[in-house]
Amino acid sequence: MNNKLIKAGAIVALAGAAVFSLAACSTATSNPESSETTEEAGSTVIAPVIVDVADLDGTTVDVQEGNFIDVNVPKDSEALWTAKIADDMVLEFSAGGTDGGAVMNPGFKALGVGTTEVTMTDGTTTVTFTVNVTGK
Protein backbone atom coordinates (compact mmCIF):
# COMPACT_ATOMS: atom_id res chain seq x y z
CA MET A 1 0.00 0.00 0.00
CA ASN A 2 2.84 2.33 0.81
CA ASN A 3 4.27 1.68 -2.63
CA LYS A 4 1.00 2.67 -4.34
CA LEU A 5 0.84 5.87 -2.29
CA ILE A 6 4.41 6.79 -3.25
CA LYS A 7 3.69 6.14 -6.96
CA ALA A 8 0.49 8.20 -6.84
CA GLY A 9 2.32 11.04 -5.09
CA ALA A 10 5.07 10.95 -7.69
CA ILE A 11 2.53 11.06 -10.54
CA VAL A 12 0.72 14.00 -8.96
CA ALA A 13 4.04 15.80 -8.44
CA LEU A 14 5.12 15.18 -12.06
CA ALA A 15 1.73 16.30 -13.37
CA GLY A 16 1.92 19.45 -11.28
CA ALA A 17 5.43 20.19 -12.51
CA ALA A 18 4.35 19.66 -16.12
CA VAL A 19 1.37 22.00 -15.73
CA PHE A 20 3.55 24.62 -14.04
CA SER A 21 6.22 24.46 -16.76
CA LEU A 22 3.63 24.71 -19.53
CA ALA A 23 2.03 27.68 -17.81
CA ALA A 24 5.43 29.35 -17.52
CA CYS A 25 6.03 28.84 -21.25
CA SER A 26 2.67 30.23 -22.26
CA THR A 27 3.06 33.41 -20.19
CA ALA A 28 6.50 34.08 -21.68
CA THR A 29 5.06 34.19 -25.19
CA SER A 30 2.29 36.62 -24.29
CA ASN A 31 4.65 39.35 -23.10
CA PRO A 32 2.78 42.69 -23.28
CA GLU A 33 6.00 44.43 -24.34
CA SER A 34 6.08 42.35 -27.51
CA SER A 35 5.63 44.33 -30.71
CA GLU A 36 2.81 42.00 -31.70
CA THR A 37 0.63 43.11 -28.81
CA THR A 38 1.50 46.82 -28.79
CA GLU A 39 0.80 47.60 -32.45
CA GLU A 40 -2.43 49.46 -33.03
CA ALA A 41 -4.64 48.16 -35.78
CA GLY A 42 -4.76 50.49 -38.77
CA SER A 43 -1.86 52.72 -37.71
CA THR A 44 0.38 53.69 -40.59
CA VAL A 45 3.15 56.18 -40.98
CA ILE A 46 3.24 58.16 -44.21
CA ALA A 47 6.59 59.42 -45.42
CA PRO A 48 6.79 63.17 -46.03
CA VAL A 49 6.78 64.56 -49.56
CA ILE A 50 10.37 65.64 -50.27
CA VAL A 51 11.05 68.33 -52.87
CA ASP A 52 14.16 70.28 -53.92
CA VAL A 53 13.83 74.05 -53.83
CA ALA A 54 15.77 74.26 -57.14
CA ASP A 55 13.00 72.27 -58.89
CA LEU A 56 10.03 73.82 -57.09
CA ASP A 57 9.34 77.10 -58.95
CA GLY A 58 6.15 76.90 -61.05
CA THR A 59 5.24 73.36 -59.98
CA THR A 60 2.31 71.84 -58.12
CA VAL A 61 2.99 69.65 -55.08
CA ASP A 62 0.33 67.12 -54.09
CA VAL A 63 0.22 66.10 -50.44
CA GLN A 64 -2.27 64.26 -48.26
CA GLU A 65 -3.98 66.09 -45.39
CA GLY A 66 -1.97 65.67 -42.19
CA ASN A 67 1.24 64.92 -44.05
CA PHE A 68 4.34 67.09 -44.44
CA ILE A 69 6.37 68.60 -47.26
CA ASP A 70 10.13 68.68 -46.63
CA VAL A 71 11.96 71.23 -48.80
CA ASN A 72 15.62 70.46 -49.50
CA VAL A 73 17.53 73.74 -49.62
CA PRO A 74 21.25 74.49 -50.04
CA LYS A 75 23.41 73.61 -47.03
CA ASP A 76 23.67 76.33 -44.40
CA SER A 77 20.65 78.22 -45.79
CA GLU A 78 18.00 76.23 -43.88
CA ALA A 79 17.22 79.02 -41.40
CA LEU A 80 17.10 81.77 -44.06
CA TRP A 81 13.96 80.57 -45.83
CA THR A 82 10.57 82.17 -45.16
CA ALA A 83 7.22 81.53 -46.79
CA LYS A 84 4.00 83.34 -47.62
CA ILE A 85 0.97 81.08 -47.93
CA ALA A 86 -2.17 82.38 -49.64
CA ASP A 87 -4.54 80.17 -47.60
CA ASP A 88 -3.25 79.36 -44.12
CA MET A 89 -6.22 77.03 -43.52
CA VAL A 90 -4.68 74.64 -46.06
CA LEU A 91 -0.98 74.81 -45.22
CA GLU A 92 1.33 75.82 -42.36
CA PHE A 93 5.02 76.78 -42.74
CA SER A 94 7.70 75.32 -40.50
CA ALA A 95 11.01 77.20 -40.51
CA GLY A 96 14.27 75.34 -40.94
CA GLY A 97 17.38 75.72 -38.86
CA THR A 98 19.43 73.84 -36.29
CA ASP A 99 18.42 72.31 -32.99
CA GLY A 100 21.45 71.10 -31.11
CA GLY A 101 23.32 68.98 -33.63
CA ALA A 102 20.31 68.37 -35.90
CA VAL A 103 19.76 70.42 -39.06
CA MET A 104 16.14 70.76 -40.21
CA ASN A 105 14.94 71.79 -43.63
CA PRO A 106 12.08 74.25 -43.96
CA GLY A 107 8.77 72.60 -44.71
CA PHE A 108 5.02 72.62 -44.56
CA LYS A 109 2.23 70.75 -42.80
CA ALA A 110 -0.91 70.02 -44.81
CA LEU A 111 -3.72 71.23 -42.54
CA GLY A 112 -6.85 70.86 -44.64
CA VAL A 113 -8.13 69.88 -48.05
CA GLY A 114 -7.68 72.61 -50.64
CA THR A 115 -5.24 74.36 -52.94
CA THR A 116 -3.01 77.30 -52.11
CA GLU A 117 -0.20 79.30 -53.64
CA VAL A 118 3.11 79.52 -51.78
CA THR A 119 6.07 81.87 -52.20
CA MET A 120 9.35 80.94 -50.52
CA THR A 121 12.47 83.08 -50.34
CA ASP A 122 15.87 83.09 -48.69
CA GLY A 123 16.37 86.78 -49.52
CA THR A 124 18.18 86.00 -52.77
CA THR A 125 16.20 83.23 -54.44
CA THR A 126 12.39 83.26 -54.65
CA VAL A 127 10.22 80.35 -55.74
CA THR A 128 6.45 80.31 -56.23
CA PHE A 129 4.50 77.07 -56.40
CA THR A 130 1.09 75.55 -55.71
CA VAL A 131 0.22 73.00 -53.06
CA ASN A 132 -2.78 70.73 -53.53
CA VAL A 133 -3.88 69.04 -50.29
CA THR A 134 -6.05 65.96 -50.73
CA GLY A 135 -8.15 64.14 -48.14
CA LYS A 136 -6.93 61.15 -46.16
Number of Cα atoms under 13 Å in the Cβ half of residue 113: 3
pLDDT digits (tens, 9 = 90+) for 46-93: 899 999 999 999 999 999 999 999 999 999 999 999 999 999 999 999
The model's pTM: 0.67
pLDDT digits (tens, 9 = 90+) for 106-127: 999 999 999 999 999 999 999 9
Contact 91, 21 (CB under 8 A): no
| CATH level 3 topology of 49-134 | Immunoglobulin-like (2.60.40)
Contact 50, 63 (CB under 8 A): no
